[in-house]
Structure 1
Amino acid sequence: MVEVRPRPRGRAATALLAAALLTAGTACGIADAGENSVAVKDTLVIGVNADQPGVGERTGGTFQGFDIDFAKEIAERLGVPAANVTFKQVGYATREKLVQDGDVDLVVASYSVTPERKVKVSFAGPYYVAHQDVLIRASDAGKIRDIHDLKGRRLCRVPGSVSFPRVHDEQGVPALPVEAQGYAQCLADLTAGRLDAVSTDDLILAGLAAKASGGGHALRIVNAPFTDEPYGVGIRKADVAGCEAVNKAITEMYQDGAAVELLKKWFAPVGLKVTTTVPQFEGCV
């Protein structure tokens, strides 16, 4: 674990960050914050995953992981104390609807930004750019070296996730789908021999591999990434001011080292090489 040290905050840092936001490509002009904007709310409901070890997992009624810690930091920098933050589990196929219906204020849930999703919700960030890779049993390392070796093999498919379609449809690899309700089930099926591989973002795979190792199962990431997966913070489309405020918080976290500390805390122990520079933002529209 990496020790998290106190970080500088205050008006001077805020002024510096305002200029940085312009160069980061996030500024959409000065937006007025309505009473429903996350920029002015005193409480926040944040949608998170519950089945991704190291990223977003619920254990004993408590959520933990990189996304959870990142969401807490964003809320704090928006002026919302931890006591006023509620985490709500979201599904891969329900995230857009939960934002649209106002059931959650933000979604921080390894939520890849895609053109289809941007029609329904806006995205602050991304706060990290992951890369899709493949997780296999260590004993299969000589047989599966990249996604093309998944031809005719059993590959986990989670409804609502874009990971399986990226392999099967976009890359044209005729893998055999094995349905699972989430990546925790994918992991259980992989270690039990009910499927041959799991393909999704490398942060998620690193967490799954670490959990499997703790249970005595040897898994291996193929280390043949084939996509960029920008993790955005889902937010209501009309909330431009809230989007800009979240972008400011993310930029601050990279500038004062908070984001890097969280990446090291959760992924350095499993040997995953992470990117520590602020990603190119989507822009608030």
Structure 2
Amino acid sequence: MLFHSKVCRVILLTTCLVSANTFAKTFYRITAEDNEGAMIRNPSGCGSNISDGNGDLLEGGDIYRGKCDGAGNSPEIGGTHEYQKYLKFSTDPTVSNSGNDRSELALTARDFPFNENLYVGFRMMIPSSADIANKSYYLMQLWQCSPQSPISGIRVTGGTSHRINFMTRRDSGNGASFVHYDLVPNVWHDFVYKINVNPTGEGSVSVWKDEDGQPTGFLGSFGYYSDGKCEGGGEPNQSFRLKFGIYKGNESGKYFEVQYDDIRIGNYYRDVKPW
């Protein structure tokens, strides 16, 4: 496994296997398929109030909260054939505003604790219609608290349309990317994203791309711990939530889109891998 830190890279031999009798749990499984009852609730009403029920994804008895701001369209379910459905997040190029654009689904039912391994498996595609962005923007966020920026996530690199980077952010300082991938337009790409957050010690992130890919990772502290960092003051909560979708500064006249499928979130690699 290839790891990045502030000062060095090292090659470490690791294994992703766990014993057959090890207890495993998948927290979420999102397919966007009809047979799972997947639907977007009242997409036309999706707005900045994440609790009003508008723009939510309903699937398998779970609710994934929709949120839209600026030029952000409501999350959609795309695809016309059974077992080929997917989630679509996009912006409206005709809308101009001075704030940020958001087209997201937030997993609000569960906060994931620091210092524990979490695996997120998914398929991702950015269509050829997506424009070149002036600045980096998010496609996935690990969100700890307001008003701070995500502690880890996936961004489209500024000045590109299909180059993504995985990043982390420390208690002090800007976010830093540790690996980039150039996605082929209109092609599905498979990922597993392993996270273990530690804001004062040895946190870690690992990324696998496609079935035979060599994992690339980051070792080091990330996340917030200083008193007063979050709303309400005091010590920040030592947990995070996941958000999928677009969050970016407005670029009127440009179109942005990302698609997700086969999202699985759990304790172990074997339970979430999309291949």
Please tell me whether Structure 1 or Structure 2 has the larger radius of gyration of its CA atoms: 1
Compute the TM-score of the two structures, normalised by the length of structure 2. Answer: 0.26
Query: Structure 1 or 2: larger helix share?
Result: 1
Structure with bigger RCO (C-alpha 8 Å, 6+ apart): 1
Compute the TM-score of the two structures, normalised by the length of structure 1. Answer: 0.25
